[in-house]
Amino acid sequence: MTLYECFAADLLCDRTVLVTGGGSGINLAIAKAFATVGANVGICGRTAERLELAAQELRGLGAEVCATVADVRDPEALENAVSRTVQQLGGLDTVVAGAAGNFLAPVEKISSNGFRTVLAIDLQGAFHTAQASFQQLKDRRGSILFVSAPQAHLPFDSQAHVGAAKAGVESLMRSLAIEWGPYGIRSNSIVPGPIDGTEGLRRVSEQVGLDTWTASTALGRCGTLEEVAAVAVALSCPLGGFITGARIDVDGGLALCGSGLFNRARSGARAPLL
Ligand code: HXC
């Protein structure tokens, strides 16, 4: 049995989702999971070629697709992505704020622009996504889902910029649950741990190796794209109807085990630089 067979094939057949950063990785996996259960799918991202390939995959799953080139740092580009999605797909029920940027660097080596860039993509981009979608979500009593990261809750060496950005995303998620709850809009986050085959894991495994990450989970393994995407669907369908303001860790127990193994490996790897 595949994970998606846990859901009815027409579970979200009259719904539309928009996924930022939906051209690749976890965000594309989420878009594909929604397509698999019948939703129509909007995706946006920075690279037209990548979006087109993703759109073809999503159409192959039976979804109507609207792909828009948009950088989440640009609020007008986000508004355009939302209005194109609404025009072409007939509305908007769920927004997934997934676009993110990351690199490994210790605080003393991050330029002001480097720090700002990650905050602008992850945190300000999430804010732009929420604001651009508000009217549609209000009209449809929809939901917003943020793709967060363990760095929001645990201090990881060389990830201060990401931790600051994602902690802000979690705070925004809770504020929206309070402010938009009266409109029937739900706001939640998922926190993927180490997920196989992602650019994020490739970047944070540099120098420390993958084993450090698997040993940092209670389950002793990486997660799969489908395991994250299935939770996104569950939170966005009636199963999640009374869940708002919640952070759901999809991390194999990483939050319990902590960042100590990574931090020791990372500080050992960069010690010669000091
Ligand atoms: C120090 C760096 C750097 C590095 C970039 N910068 N890489 N500083 N170390 N390795 C600095 C640059 O020098 C520049 O500052 C500033 O950041 C902006 O860089 P640009 O390349 O001009 O920005 P841009 O093209 O917009 O790229 C954004 C990016 C990039 C964040 C820097 O890495 C990116 O686009 N990433 C997207 C893909 C990605 O990161 N996916 C993983 C996300 S998920 P100056 O001062 O020189 O101008 C994730 C979760 C993992 O990470 C969780 C695992 C458990």
Ligand 1 nearest atom to the CA of residue 105, by list position: 9
98 C-alpha vs ligand 1 centroid, how far in Å?
15
Q: Ligand 1 centre and the CA of 234: distance in Å?
A: 31
> If you take atom 27 of ligand 1, which residue's CA is the nearest one?
101
Ligand 1 close to Cβ of residue 193 (< 6 A):
yes
Among 20, 73, 102, 216, residue to substitute to test ligand 1 (most atoms within 8 Å of Cβ): 102
45 in helix, strand or coil? strand
Please, what is the angle between helix 75-89 and helix 125-140, to 10°? Answer: 30
Q: What tokens does 85 get?
A: 């999605």
Reading the chain (274 residues) residue by residue, the pLDDT tens digits are 777 789 999 999 999 999 999 999 999 999 999 999 999 999 999 999 999 999 999 999 999 999 999 999 999 999 999 999 999 999 999 999 999 999 999 999 999 999 999 999 999 999 999 999 999 999 999 999 999 999 999 999 999 999 999 999 999 999 999 999 999 999 999 999 999 999 999 999 988 999 999 999 999 999 999 999 999 999 999 999 999 999 999 999 999 999 999 999 998 877 665 4
Please report the pLDDT score of residue 267 as a whole number.
86
**In the chain, how many H helices and how many E strands?**
11, 7
Site to substitute for ligand 1 among 24, 73, 109, 117, most atoms within 8 A of C-beta: 117
Residue 216 designated active-site = no
**From the alpha carbon of 100, which atom of ligand 1 is closest?**
43
- Amino acid letter at 223? G
Q: Judge if the beta carbon of residue 125 lies within 6 A of ligand 1.
A: no
248 CA distance to ligand 1 middle (Å)? 26
- Asked about 83 being catalytic, the answer comes back as no
Give the Cα separation of 235 and 16 in Å (integer).
14
- Choose the catalytic residue: 24, 133, 143, 148: 148
Choose which residue among 24, 103, 123 to substitute to test ligand 1 binding: the one with the highest number of ligand atoms within 8 A of its C-beta: 103
Handedness of CA 38, 52, 165, 155 (dihedral sign): positive
Q: In what order do the strands lie in the sheet with 186-192?
A: 65-69, 40-45, 16-20, 94-97, 143-147, 186-192, 247-250
Specify the pTM.
Answer: 0.96
| Active-site residue (options: 166, 189, 216, 236) | 166
Does the CB atom of residue 199 touch ligand 1 within 6 A? yes
| Cα separation, 224 vs 222, whole angstroms | 7
